Structure 1
Amino acid sequence: MSIIDDVLKLLGKGYLPYQGHVEGHVYESLGCAPRRKPRWFVRERKYVCLGCSMRCSLVDPVGFELMLPVTYQTKKLAFASLPAVSARELVAKKILLTIPEVEFVLSIGRSKVWEMIQEGRLEKHPDSPPARVTTESIKQELLKQGEALYILQKK
């Protein structure tokens, strides 16, 4: 797993980069000689370091500068939540799409997807506990929007 994967995983779990000072005895107690710049992430009182392959984790440690809590809401990274396939492939190969996939295909937000489901413009599969939308209803919506020429045509 690369450091980018680890960073995205931590950000997805609500961790934020730690900007404070860490005293040297912390590294000594971990048996770590920070050759590179340490990269600490924090959530509540748990600290995780991505500075080396050891991926050290500490809970409420001594030696970390106290920081004021962050009050802003974290947001998902757009590139981390996009599917690895195109909108055309999603519509062509799947019968049911998740809400994030519908957002991607139609280029709309989550609230708009739910609004379209409530209006009956998109059909939610009745037996799927996590909400799934039928690709047929998405195709119909694309036809109405005039987007179908690009997404529905075969290469």
Structure 2
Amino acid sequence: MSIIDDVLKLLDKGYLPYQGQIEGHVYEPLGCGPKRKPRWFWKERKYVCLGCVKRCCLVDPVGFELMLPVTYQTKKLAFASLPAVSARELVTKKAWLTIAEVAFVLSIGRSKVWEMIQEGRLEKHPDSPPARVLTESVRKELERTDVYLS
């Protein structure tokens, strides 16, 4: 089976190309390294690498940056760059975040986000009909809790 067949099979099963950062220690037990040009795909808690013939598969691995899937309808394309956004990208590239995005970045529930808004720890946009939270206030909360994604 070729790499193209493997990619198509993973895409068909709902896997996405993994675009987050991976810590170097992840490769030690696998017997390979980032120099081999790993090509990771992920779905929920499973990660599959198509970088070599081993086709490594990991479940809930430590050392992988958390990713938030972006859901929308799209045509199936063999080499489409399917979107996935990391928590780091959310807090560095957006001025305002949705409640769901804040919950993802802070690893908390939506009700906790609303509670933090009420407490004044997060700053909500005064006029935005779907609620938006100022990203700078989320960054401050990350720094305060020592969880910031450097």
TM-score band, normalised by shorter chain:
0.3 to 0.5
Bigger radius of gyration among the two: 1
TM-score by length of 1: 0.47
TM-score by length of 2: 0.48
Higher normalized strand content (fraction of residues): 2
Which structure has more helix as a fraction of its residues?
A: 1
